[in-house]
Amino acid sequence: MENNPPPHSPLLTLCLFLAMHTQVSPEIARVEELAHTKVADCYQCGKCSAGCPMSDQMDIIPSTLIRLVQYDNVNEAARSEAVWQCVACLTCSTRCPKSVHIAGVLDALKQISIERNIVHKKFRRVVAFHKTFLDTIRRNGRLNELELVAQFKIRAFLGDFSILKALKDSMLGPKMLGLGKLHLKLGSPVKDKALVKRIFEKCTTQH
């Protein structure tokens, strides 16, 4: 005779009550909203970390990042180098037996780190480049190489005041000009800048 609990056992009732009434913290809810996934589904099998091609370079492996979020330590996870070392190959999300979108969680942590100004110091120049790239597209509707380089150098220098890094690529300019890889012509914006504006507004309102 099987020793299964009856349909209305106290243990089953308690489990159902906790499942229905346990509230997710605002921090976890924010990550889940951005990542479109439920981090509580992760049971730490480690398949994501085992399959990640960058895990041996990361300061915190993917499964541990998910655990930090589960424990409501979102800022600690967002401050890590790992979220910026992710190459977005989606191996982790594909391997997850519970369909947790782990790569999406790492993207969410990136966004949170930018919003809260807690980006790891090694990757602040990466963020500066991303912002400059998007600002150029927002203004012109297309990429302008000269404007991109000039604004990135200024923004990055104002972030760390490193003269060596600011001059690091200075000798590449003449070589790229000679090869036709860098154009000094500023160019003109696209005609339908209103469309570009609507695209950016839609993306902003969705997050």
**60 within some domain:** yes
Q: Is 171 exposed, middle or buried (CB count within 10 Å of its CB: 0-12, 13-18, 19+)?
A: exposed
**19 within some domain:** no
Per residue in 118-145, pLDDT (tens digit) is 999 999 999 999 999 999 999 888 888 8
Same domain, 38 and 89: yes
**Stretch 84-103: mean pLDDT:** 96
**Stretch 109-124: mean pLDDT:** 96
Statement: residue 190 has pLDDT above 50? yes
CA-based nearest residue to 78, from 33, 123, 131, 128: 123
Number of domains in the chain: 2
pTM of the model: 0.77
Statement: residue 162 has pLDDT above 90? no
* Pair 90, 103: CB distance under 8 Å: yes
> Each residue of 85-121: b (16+ CB within 10 Å) or e?
bbeeeebbbebbeeebbbbbbbbbbbbbbeeeeebbe
Q: Which residues contact 171 (CB under 8 A, 6 or more apart)?
A: none
Per residue in 46-83, pLDDT (tens digit) is 999 999 999 999 999 999 999 999 999 999 999 999 99
Same domain, 106 and 48: yes
Domain boundary among 80, 99, 119: 119
Q: Name the DSSP letter for residue 55.
A: G
Q: What is the CATH number of the domain that holds 66?
A: 1.10.1060.10
Same domain, 85 and 108: yes
Domain boundary among 60, 90, 119: 119
Say how many CA atoms lie within 13 Å of 45 toward its Cβ: 14
Per residue in 7-18, pLDDT (tens digit) is 556 665 666 555
Range of the domain at 176: 122-206
More confident residue, 149 or 11: 149
More confident residue, 20 or 100: 100
> In the block, which residue shows the tokens 């923004």?
155
**15 within some domain:** no
**184 within some domain:** yes
Q: Write the CA distances from 111 to 7, 23, 136, integer angstroms.
A: 44, 23, 20
The pair of structure tokens assigned to 55 is: 């895990």
Count of C-beta atoms within a 10 Å radius of residue 181: 10
* 3-class DSSP assignment, residue 207: coil
Same domain, 101 and 131: no
More confident residue, 116 or 200: 116
Domain boundary among 104, 119, 134: 119
**7 within some domain:** no
CA-based nearest residue to 85, from 129, 46, 128, 120: 120
* C-alpha to C-alpha distance for 30 and 113, rounded to whole angstroms: 12
Percent of the chain with pLDDT strictly greater than 70: 86
**107 within some domain:** yes
